[in-house]
Amino acid sequence: MISNPVNSTVPIAAEVFKRKGVYDEKKLFGVTTLDVVRAKTFYAGKAKVNVADVNVPVVGGHAGITILPLFSQAAPKANLSDEDIKALTKRTQDGGTEVVEAKAGKGSATLSMAYAGAIFADACLKGLNGVPDVVECAFVQSTVTELPFFASKVRLGKNGVEEVLGLGPLSDYEQQGLEALKPELKSSIEKGIKFAQDS
Ligand SMILES: NC(=O)c1ccc[n+]([C@@H]2O[C@H](COP(=O)([O-])OP(=O)(O)OC[C@H]3O[C@@H](n4cnc5c(N)ncnc54)[C@H](O)[C@@H]3O)[C@@H](O)[C@H]2O)c1
Ligand SMILES: O=C(O)C[C@H](O)C(=O)O
């Protein structure tokens, strides 16, 4: 699912598939790759490193504060200040809205979404083809937190999701971000489920 609001459209799709008796939680993904692309790009700019060498996990969901980039786990390591990390986090969280507002009613990110979509589709195809250790972040059914859907690193394989990976160690700032995003993400998920059940 790329269509927004991803935090609700994924639960909606899950409910619809369940109703039809064809739900497979290993094969339903909310595409959050663009958040990773943005986090990597902004980090590379600030840290003055080649973006092609950068990796940054992004967890949570795909809207505002539910997007939580884990810059404490970014590779390569860079000595950025707390202020820099806060600014990079906000820029990543606001990236989509920035584009939507700039386009003023004429759609959302297109070229960057095509790039992100291609990365994610390629990762899925590699997994289906048996390439080992293909890992991308995606919004999936999850037990990583108490929420039924959550974006985190996911290992892709022949069956789709082979493993939903945990969050790893978080900085205090990220831990606060995680606690702050949970009520908002919970509400979006519940709205999606209710919408599907009422339809
Ligand atoms: N997951 C992500 O990272 C990400 C990134 C970019 C865009 N998006 C989402 O992708 C979706 C498309 O974005 P866009 O920029 O291409 O938008 P857009 O406004 O350019 O295109 C939307 C299209 O959907 C059509 N449409 C609207 N209602 C419809 C309906 N009921 N039935 C059939 N078609 C309908 C419109 O005619 C239009 O052609 C949006 O939901 C956007 O928020 C997600
Ligand atoms: O379509 C939007 O609202 C934003 C989009 O999800 C994006 O991340 O660019």
State the distance from the centre of ligand 2 to the C-alpha of 163, rounded, in angstroms.
26
Residue-wise pLDDT tens digits, 136-182:
999 999 999 999 999 999 999 999 999 999 999 999 999 999 999 99
Backbone angles phi, psi at 22, to 5 degrees: -125, 20
C-alpha 105/C-alpha 163 separation (Å) is 38
Q: How far is the CA of 3 from the centre of ligand 1 (A)?
A: 6
Kindly provide the ipTM of the predicted complex, given to two decimals. Answer: 0.94
Q: Which value, to the nearest 10 degrees, does the dihedral of the CA atoms of residues 79, 87, 66, 62 take?
A: -90
pTM: 0.96
Beta strands in 19-130 (DSSP E): 58-60, 67-69
Report the atom number in ligand 2 closest to the C-alpha of 34.
8
Query: Domain boundaries in the chain?
Result: 6-198
| Ligand 1 contact via 2 beta carbon (within 6 Å) | yes
| pLDDT tens figures, 5-57 | 999 999 999 999 999 999 999 999 999 999 999 999 999 999 999 999 999 99
Q: Which atom of ligand 1 is nearest to the CA of 1?
A: 1
* Cα(173)–Cα(177) distance, integer angstroms: 6
Considering the candidates 38, 62, 91, 186, report the single residue annotated as catalytic: 62
Q: Is 62 a catalytic residue?
A: yes
The domain defined by 6-198 carries CATH number 3.90.110.10:
yes
Compute, in angstroms, the gap from residue 130 CA to the centroid of ligand 2: 31
